[in-house]
Chain A
Amino acid sequence: MSFFGFGQSADIDIVLNDAETRKKAEHKTEDGRKDKYFLFYDGETVSGKVNVTLKYPGKRLEHNGIKIEFVGQIELYYDRGNHHEFVSLVKDLARPGELTQSQAFDFEFTHVEKPYESYTGQNVKLRYFLRATVSRRLNDISKELDLVVHTLSSYPELNSSIKMEVGIEDCLHIEFEYNKSKYHLKDVIVGKIYFLLVRIKIKHMEIDIIKRETTGTGPNVYHENDTIAKYEIMDGAPVRGESIPIRLFLAGYEMTPSMRDINKKYSVRYYLNLVLIDEEERRYFKQQEITLWRKGDIVRKSMSHQAIMASQRFESSSHPETTPTQSQEEDS
């Protein structure tokens, strides 16, 4: 916006140094679209250039300073005005003065802490972005570049199975078992339902994955339940002693890692809901929380590097160099 049409203005463009090599990840926007953004992990350096291009070459651009910020913020939809910034870094690029020509400014945020994963949910959004600002007396010019952050976890040391006997007295007793309590996002849920007593007429059984997003504290707590998956595991009437297997591949569903009390503002939890439906459409269900976590590719890259070193050590020089391809990791 400029008065009288002929004031100088500028376009800002933020370009990352590793734009060519850095991976992009798909992330849902608030209106449901899926866009791709540069993917970062905790501790990685964010560096690049801010290009300030003058609209009218030859005219000066007076400004009150040029800066770039790296921001991580949480936005609750019912409280839009208040953005809670949990990461806020600033680099001054230029002191107040004037630009006589278009210019590029280098910046580097070294080893930035990114403690939480980017998340766009039903009532809350957590995002990271770079914001370059040319301050001016009347109106600033700014540009934002959204980034996506994934939080990685390593294989849990303790990952006990979930095994429980549940039922209705004298009517229905089942024992359900899921092989783990913590699953990574590309994992497989392997389990079984064992029928101990069946005095009702069951028609079919399914397993649902439910995502529950909880925002707010105290009296203003909002729960949003979303059924991510419904997967029929049995069609027909079982009898005592029958065992129904479960094999549910998680990679096919859009899920995030479990998030517990992020910055004391929100949680995202996942539940397996086992549902039995009888011939009169009555539903019997048992809900069980599971923990989802994100496995990194980074671990494998370093292992491949080690494999290269190992193979070079033992192979004679007459062998053609073999690039390790689909190397299977041994389960420890």
Chain B
Amino acid sequence: MADTIADTRRLFSKPQNINDAYGPPSNFLEIDVSNPETIGVGRTRYTTYEVRLKTNLPIFKLKESSVRRRYSDFEWLRAELERESKVVVPPLPGKALFRQLPFRGDDGIFDDSFIEERRQALEHFLNKVAGHPLAQNERCLHMFLQDESVDKTYTPSKIRQA
């Protein structure tokens, strides 16, 4: 015996605005970590990476920005986010202390393949973090991504949207 056939017609919804449908999406956020450069000589050498951001999210003050950061800056950002926010912060690529030991056959932490590996992992880390709605509220993230330099003596705070 057949049951009464249920009404499965779609619920009514407003037709979509053409601009909304075909315009740029509101969630555009692209972060690249590239152009590694080793600065300095001898024991005090270190590598910096270009961190480039392109976005249309209103929470970012600059819609395009480019800064240079080194590995310890990433470590600082991760520690700040862990302490200040409720975000479960993804891990960074390793410190590779063993690569800093003397008498290695290769260039240690300035080895091209190592830098490339690290660059990829740092890019992955930033993309994961910058897209997190809670991390986007943290001053430290914005300072890391868009300020000329990282001021480690800053006062942690949350971003308030106008």
Partner of B16, one of A179, A198, A243, A326: A243
Q: Contact mask A25-63 → B, CB, 8 Å, 1/0?
A: 000000000000000000000000000000000000000
> Does chain B have a CB within 8 A of A65?
no
Q: Is B104 an interface residue (CB 8 A)?
A: no
Given contacts A170-B59, A192-B10, A241-B21, contact A186 B3 (CB under 8 A): yes
Does B131 contact A200, Cβ atoms closer than 8 Å? yes
Q: Is the CB of B133 within 8 A of A200?
A: yes
Residues A170 and B161 in contact in the complex (CB < 8 Å), given A245-B10, A247-B8? yes
CB pair B2–A194 under 8 Å, yes or no, is no
Q: What is the distance, in angstroms, from B129's C-beta to the closest C-beta of chain A?
A: 9
Main secondary structure of the interface of B (DSSP, over half): loop
When each residue 85-125 of chain A gets 1 if its CB lies under 8 Å from chain B and 0 otherwise, what string results? 00000000000000000000000000000000000000000
Do B25 and A198 have beta carbons less than 8 Å apart?
Answer: yes
Question: Are B4's CB and A201's CB within 8 A?
Answer: no
Contact B133 A187 (CB under 8 A): no
Q: Is the CB of B14 within 8 A of A200?
A: no
CB interface residues, A 71-93, toward B, < 8 Å:
none
Q: Which residues of the other chain, B, contact A325 by a CB distance below 8 angstroms?
A: 1
Once A172-B133, A240-B20, A278-B131 are accepted as A-B contacts, the answer to whether A326 and B2 lie under 8 Å apart by CB is yes
A170→B29 contact, CB < 8 A = no
Bin chain B's interface residue count: 20 to 34
Instruction: Determine if B4 and A280 form an interchain contact, defined as CB atoms under 8 angstroms apart.
Output: no
A207 to B137, CA, bound (A): 29
The contact size tier of chain A is: 35 or more
Tell me if A254 counts as interface (CB < 8 A to partner B): no
CA distance A192 to B8 in the complex (A): 12
Residues of chain B within 8 A (CB-CB) of A278 are 131
Q: Which residues of B contact A187 (CB under 8 A)?
A: 6
Per-position 1/0 for B21-44, Cβ under 8 A of A: 100011101000000000000000
The CA-CA distance from A200 to B133 in the complex, in Å, is 8
On whether A237 and B25 interact (CB within 8 A), knowing A187-B6, A192-B11, A326-B1, the answer reads yes
**Do the beta carbons of A179 and B20 come within 8 Å of each other?**
no
Q: Which of B6, B131, B132, B133 contacts A188 (CB 8 A)?
A: B6
Residues in chain B near residue A177, CB distance under 8 A: 11
Q: Are A239's CB and B25's CB within 8 A?
A: yes
Known: A190-B8, A194-B13. A280 touches B128 (CB 8 A): yes
Binding site for A on B (CB under 8 A): 1-11, 13-14, 16-17, 20-21, 25-27, 29, 57-59, 127-128, 131-133, 136, 161
Contacts A194-B13, A198-B25 known; 8 new A-B pairs at CB < 8 A: A170-B161, A188-B8, A190-B8, A201-B29, A280-B131, A300-B1, A325-B1, A331-B7
